[in-house]
Copies of this chain bind each other. A is one copy, B any other.
């Protein structure tokens, strides 16, 4: 049981209508690994600068996240992202992106990382994702996330990378952009025709959907009265999904359906506070409680209808 994530570790600065945080742990690999750590053992492949603090390392350590492959470049600076959300929390307005050491990131996998059973290729340049994928040839399941930037700038490389993975996790706008098909069900079929066995489409406040060649599963989002900071929700979802899967012996569809719920549960906690603050201090009981709430939210009895006789008029 081990799960590897390759992605970014960053310092984020975020402004929302509800508050402001100048500097906090961010990046896809951070959100993913903290979320996954509740379910399984996680290893992280990423790069940070000399400014990366012991406080942030401590967060990884306290969650049992293996940082042996977290490269440190002493005379470089950690990736920084600044963003703002208005009342429409679905749209992030990027204020600045300082790639710093992340600009030259070349993922380096130790032998232990190469032996991971499950791998998540976080949102980085698709050539790099493919390079990592080739080094984990024996992994049981390799998943990939991406974003509109790479669909625009590196489409051909991204398509090659997608052809080589088992599972794709993207949002609905990205699925449409990638396939140039407005209908999501058709777009999903096209992505699956390229090679992946499974596609997960994240739909923000509307939930998420799981597509395979012969099945469809869709869930709503957990109903939240206030979303405080949506940054990292997608990676936290992926962390919960892959983390739970990693804890299961059989990676069958039933396990994936439960993993979808655990992913949604983790994402629903993530958005309640800045950065990883809420996710960090979760307990298994809190996670299971919200998992059970999902059953209540979606349950109905399967009783076909029979029209009462007209004579009853």
Contact = CB atoms under 8 A, between A and B. Distances in A.
B258 A217 contact: no
B1 A312 contact: yes
Contacts of A87: 182
A294 B218 CA distance: 10
Given A40-B307, A305-B39, A305-B247, A300 B218 contact: no
Nearest to A304: B288
A284 B305 CA distance: 8
A295 B257 CA distance: 13
A312 B3 CA distance: 13
Interface stretch (A92-100, A119-127, A132-140, A221-229): A221-229
Contact of A295 (B225, B295, B296, B302): B302
Given A203-B206, A218-B207, A260-B300, A308 B184 contact: no
Contacts of A64: 310
B206 A303 contact: no
Interface string A249-280: 00000100110111000000000000000000
A244 to B, nearest CB: 6
Contacts of A257: 299-301
Contacts of A260: 300
A183 interface: yes
A254 B301 contact: yes
Nearest to A203: B206
A287 interface: yes
A53 B261 CA distance: 52
Given A262-B305, A303-B258, A220 B220 contact: yes
A179 interface: no
Contacts of A2: 313
B307 A247 contact: yes
A247 B284 CA distance: 43
A224 to B, nearest CB: 6
A132 to B, nearest CB: 21
Contacts of A104: none
Nearest to A258: B300
Nearest to A244: B305
Contacts of A38: 307
B1 A308 contact: yes
A46 B151 CA distance: 52
A40 B244 CA distance: 45
Given A206-B203, A247-B307, A298 B185 contact: no
Contacts of A88: 182
Interface of A: 1-2, 38-41, 64, 87-88, 182-186, 189, 203, 205-207, 209, 215-220, 223-227, 244, 247, 254, 257-258, 260-262, 284, 287-288, 291-292, 294-308, 310, 312-313
6 contacts: A87-B182, A217-B298, A218-B298, A219-B220, A257-B300, A294-B300
